[in-house]
Structure 1
Amino acid sequence: MAERLVYIFAWLIVCLIRCLPLSVCFLLGQAIGALMWLILPGYRRLARENLTIAFANEMSEADLGRLTFRHFTTLGANVVCAFKMPSLSQAQIQRVAHFENLDVVKRNIALGRPVIMAINHIGNWELYAQIVFQWPEVRSGTIYQALHNKLVDDLVNRDRRRLGLETFDRKKGFQGAIGLLRELGVLGVLVDQHAGKSGVWTPFFHRLCSTSPLVATLALRTNAVVIPSAIYTDGFARWRIVMGQEIPWTADNPEQLTLDLNRNLEEQIRVSPADWFWVHNRWKTPRSFLLNDVKRGIYLPGGAATVNPFRIVARSPNWLGDAVMSVDAVRAFKYGRPDAHLSVLTPSKLAGFWRRVNGVDEVIEIEKEESVFSVARRLRGRFHVAVLFPNSLRSALEVWLARIPVKVGFQGHYRHWLLDHAIAEGKRPPANQPVHQADVYWRIAARCGAEERPPVSPLWKPNRKERVIGLCPGAEYGSAKRWPADQFRQLILQLNEEVDCQWVIVGTCADTPVAKKIASGIPNVTDLTGKTSLEDLMDLLSRISVLVTNDTGTMHLADFIGTPLVSIFGSTEPTFTGPRGSRSLVIRQKVECSPCFLRECPIDFRCMEEIPMDKVIQAVKISLK
């Protein structure tokens, strides 16, 4: 019933329009277009964004704004006039439409080659159905996307078929269209729509987008000539129908034909920019925007330098350990597509780390106490996608206020409404099936199309002339993660009797009292707590022989660098957050209350106190070898 009511309404509108003179239809359409510009801010914004992609380097902001309004009025005029066109006679069509270079079609038909007209949504595209009388002796057809409402679909196509144009629903296959071409017919195929996963990703206005390979496929199957065409609005209720020159193609490189069609379409649009259908999301960003799962791949013969970058900003976790565990996932966004430009938005305390991560093009620092509005202002207008690794509401607000088009992350804390692709965190895994935090972060990259973790080159380059053992006795999270200071001191004293080495203690200023207690009276120990920047710490970790550490950010940093590790765990679970490097050894004493994940131990600290010293010493010796 609803479909019939929609059909009756559409039929009444069409009948009303066809009662009006063409000039009145054109004026009415302009007025409707201006109204749509006013009341449809979403489409107005989409058109402006698309025009910016195409002409940002050629037009000022004011020019782009004026062109956006002119597009709406031109589109309105052409859509209303499109309903009027089927009621005009051939003589009337020839009075309002000027034809150019039609001979290129007739000449190829005479030579025994079928013709594929590469058509598009420039100007009054309904005129394509009205020009079949130019070659009445030849079968003419077009491939179209059927409307969901069958009655309205029949209304739209009825006049086309009455004029002799054959229509082929693409959902029903292409055998009918191929048969028409093999009988030396003329077939119109749209080439300017987003093709989703079935398309070839190739440049259009210097930006990768999914483009239909259908023209290339049909040309190869039927040896057809490919001729681009366009219909320009050429004054008040007047149009110019232009057939371009044949686009050559070769059977061994059909993707080049698809790219050439895009390049030709760019030239056609530049002739009359207001005429194209800018309210179509031609550069749509798919959920799997890393493009590893696209069926027909990426065709970029000139390399990434020939296209504008696809700008991705990854919001870093706020803790050093979490940031290190997110590295694989963050780097996947750089290597997942050839045009990717990767920026990392991070608290300033972690900026030094991210500058050392291979694949990061830019580091944007969030200063301490900087407001969410200030961060948003610095991001606005710069990025196509934001990927959030923290679960916080604030991180989602930063990119939402920045109006970044696509925002991806876990649902997090009451923020799913701020995200475009909110990833469900799922049920907590059973205790006997733990999931490492790095794998949790990887789920974000995988949902965006990442398939393989990027290769990592270890940064560990130790000084082979002397043995230097590092100690990290602190843990910012809380005392429950800290092996007792007297145990660290005992480790030094016992190993000094067996191994010729130097010791260095690292950590923050808060760890200095503990470091002094450990190092007191021992000459071969250097206390560097509070004396190194993050970059200095990374350089140091890349040179030492082994690091003995609690479960802390420095442990993860050393694991990232490739430094041999002896990691002591108590209140936390190494299968969740432990090191994963091949040179890493984990020491723990399993007790009934561990892991508790508490900051402070409420009882007797047995998980750390009961760790056997000989086990730690043996692990250090193994690592030194």
Structure 2
Amino acid sequence: MKKILVIGPSWVGDGVMAQPLYRRLLERNPGAEVHVFAPAWTLPLLARMPEVSRAHLNPFGHGQLQLGERWRTARALAREKFDQAVILPGSLKSALIPFMAGIPLRTGFTGEMRYGLVNDRRELDEKALPMMIERFCALAEAPGVTPALPIAHPKLCVNRDAGQATAVRLGLDLSRPIVVMCPGAEYGPAKRWPARHFAALSRAFADAGWNVWLFGSNKDAEIGKAISEQAGGSAINLCGATNLEEAIDLMGFASLAVCNDSGLMHIAAALELPLVALYGSSSPGFTPPLSDKAAIVSLNLDCSPCFERVCPLQHTDCLEKMQPERVWQASQTLLQRFAPEHRHES
């Protein structure tokens, strides 16, 4: 039986977009085991992906070399006797552990002085593979072969019993339709729709009989609090109140999601929620929501996408001028097209 170790991405959204790679590896290697080496914050995603046999914790933070600790981690992985490693990040550090673990075939794109560390090197043609999901899946193919399109979308399982228990613990009402809003974006403020706009949208949904739940990490607790206050309490701030696993299960109860370009946006897409995705400084051309139920709202200003964390012009017009009425209308159009459906359960 073939065993494949994937060195997974560091971002939650990228972690979602890697699922089709795992699926393709199994298609090309029937009966194989796919393991993933990934940071702690992405492990709940892997638990919801049936393609992944086992996840291994990547304990190394960004920029940490720690050669001695990497050697010990690699030697522990060596006991698994992997036949191949697929290295998704382009850094030198990400290629060290598969090399130290003695994995014979080490597949990845050429990057950061990785000659020798990566012995199945692929040259990345950015024009031929414009989307991240295509680049990931290309590493499952034979050299020179591009992935067959279209690539099936990621799909995450939800555990409804666990979600019910979390809802009871947090005192959440499941009797009315639910819209989840994800106001954070780890990358930076140039990807975050203003709190006052989220608050106005929250009030509109509450007036229409909806429950509004705000999701995000501890880092988003402040903006979640601001939205809830500005919305007169009509939005329940769950930012930092759940871990990622709980958030996934609770989002499974929703009938609609409104998200910045963020990891939670990709989770909402993989849960097959009708989704309004808000784009400011980034582009849906590279990392779009992978869903047939998504609507993208972008002002397409001359200065965007700039891909900057903070607006270089100091006005963030791409998001400031994106009015709540426009997002409300996009939401209503989606809801008319997609009636709420039963969610995929574990």
TM-score by length of 2: 0.84
Match of 2:301 among 580, 584, 591: 591
1:566 aligns with 2:303: no
Q: Which residue does 1:271 correspond to in 2?
A: none
Match of 2:8 among 313, 316, 323: 316
**Cα distance in 1, alignment partners of residues 58 and 156 from structure 2:** 28
Superposed CA offset, 1:139-190 (max 9, x none): xxxxxxxxxxxxxxxxxxxxxxxxxxxxxxxxxxxxxxxxxxxxxxxxxxxx
Q: 1:397 to 1:391 in 2, by over 3 A?
A: same
1:371-386 → structure 2 map (5 Å cutoff): 371-381=69-79, 382-386=81-85
1:115-130 → structure 2 map (5 Å cutoff): none
Structure 1 residue matching 2:36: 3-state secondary structure: strand
Q: What is the CA distance between 1:454 and its match in structure 2?
A: 6.2
Superposed CA offset, 1:29-57 (max 9, x none): xxxxxxxxxxxxxxxxxxxxxxxxxxxxx
Would you say the 8 A contact 2:37–2:57 is kept in 1?
A: yes
Superposed CA offset, 1:336-379 (max 9, x none): 22231111111122111101112111111122557322321121
Q: State, as a whole percentage, how many aligned pairs show the same letter.
A: 29
Q: Which residue does 1:341 correspond to in 2?
A: 33
Q: What is the CA distance between 1:459 and its match in structure 2?
A: 4.3
1:397 aligns with 2:107: no
Q: What is the CA distance between 1:548 and its match in structure 2?
A: 0.7
Q: Which residue does 1:439 correspond to in 2?
A: 134
Q: Which residue does 1:513 correspond to in 2?
A: 222
Q: Which residue does 1:425 correspond to in 2?
A: 124
**Cα distance in 1, alignment partners of residues 102 and 156 from structure 2:** 37
**Cα distance in 2, alignment partners of residues 554 and 456 from structure 1:** 13
Q: What is the CA distance between 1:479 and its match in structure 2?
A: 0.4
Q: 1:376 to 1:414 in 2, by over 3 A?
A: same
1:68-217 → structure 2 map (5 Å cutoff): none
Q: 1:361 to 1:566 in 2, by over 3 A?
A: same
**Cα distance in 1, alignment partners of residues 305 and 8 from structure 2:** 26
Would you say the 8 A contact 1:468–1:502 is kept in 2?
A: yes
Superposed CA offset, 1:255-289 (max 9, x none): xxxxxxxxxxxxxxxxxxxxxxxxxxxxxxxxxxx
Q: Bigger relative contact order, structure 1 or 2, given CA contacts below 8 A and separation 6+?
A: 2
Q: 1:578 to 1:403 in 2, by over 3 A?
A: same
Structure 2 residue matching 1:418: 3-state secondary structure: coil
1:501 aligns with 2:210: yes
Q: Which residue does 1:362 correspond to in 2?
A: 54
**Cα distance in 2, alignment partners of residues 374 and 531 from structure 1:** 35
Would you say the 8 A contact 1:372–1:394 is kept in 2?
A: no
Structure 2 residue matching 1:353: 3-state secondary structure: helix
1:447-458 → structure 2 map (5 Å cutoff): 447=142, 453=151
Q: Which amino acid in 2 is paired with 1:596?
A: C
**Cα distance in 2, alignment partners of residues 330 and 565 from structure 1:** 24
Q: Which residue does 1:533 correspond to in 2?
A: 243
Q: Which residue does 1:134 correspond to in 2?
A: none
1:1-40 → structure 2 map (5 Å cutoff): none
Unmatched 5+ stretches in structure 2: 164-172, 337-346
**Cα distance in 1, alignment partners of residues 130 and 148 from structure 2:** 18
Q: Which of the pair is proportionally richer in helix? A: 1
Q: What is the CA distance between 1:421 and its match in structure 2?
A: 0.6
1:484 aligns with 2:194: yes
Would you say the 8 A contact 1:434–1:576 is kept in 2?
A: no
Q: Which residue does 1:606 correspond to in 2?
A: 317
1:622 aligns with 2:320: no
**Cα distance in 1, alignment partners of residues 215 and 324 from structure 2:** 21
Q: Which residue does 2:109 correspond to in 1?
A: 410
Superposed CA offset, 1:80-103 (max 9, x none): xxxxxxxxxxxxxxxxxxxxxxxx
**Cα distance in 1, alignment partners of residues 76 and 105 from structure 2:** 17
Q: Which amino acid in 2 is paired with 1:478?
A: G
Superposed CA offset, 1:548-579 (max 9, x none): 11000000111112121111001001011110
Would you say the 8 A contact 1:348–1:368 is kept in 2?
A: no
Q: 1:347 to 1:457 in 2, by over 3 A?
A: closer
Aligned-pair RMSD on alpha carbons?
2.3
Q: Which residue does 1:269 correspond to in 2?
A: none
Superposed CA offset, 1:372-419 (max 9, x none): 223211211420111111111111101001110110011121113211
Q: What is the CA distance between 1:329 and its match in structure 2?
A: 1.1
**Cα distance in 2, alignment partners of residues 324 and 416 from structure 1:** 28
Would you say the 8 A contact 1:472–1:548 is kept in 2?
A: yes
**Cα distance in 2, alignment partners of residues 524 and 483 from structure 1:** 18
Q: Which residue does 1:578 correspond to in 2?
A: 288
**Cα distance in 2, alignment partners of residues 456 and 599 from structure 1:** 26
Q: Which residue does 1:66 correspond to in 2?
A: none
Match of 2:259 among 541, 544, 549: 549
Q: What is the CA distance between 1:534 and its match in structure 2?
A: 1.4
Structure 2 residue matching 1:577: 3-state secondary structure: coil
Q: 1:384 to 1:411 in 2, by over 3 A?
A: same
Larger Rg: 1
Q: 1:622 to 1:434 in 2, by over 3 A?
A: farther
**Cα distance in 1, alignment partners of residues 129 and 199 from structure 2:** 33
Q: What is the CA distance between 1:435 and its match in structure 2?
A: 1.4
Q: Which amino acid in 1 is paired with 2:72?
A: S
Q: What is the CA distance between 1:615 and its match in structure 2?
A: 1.6
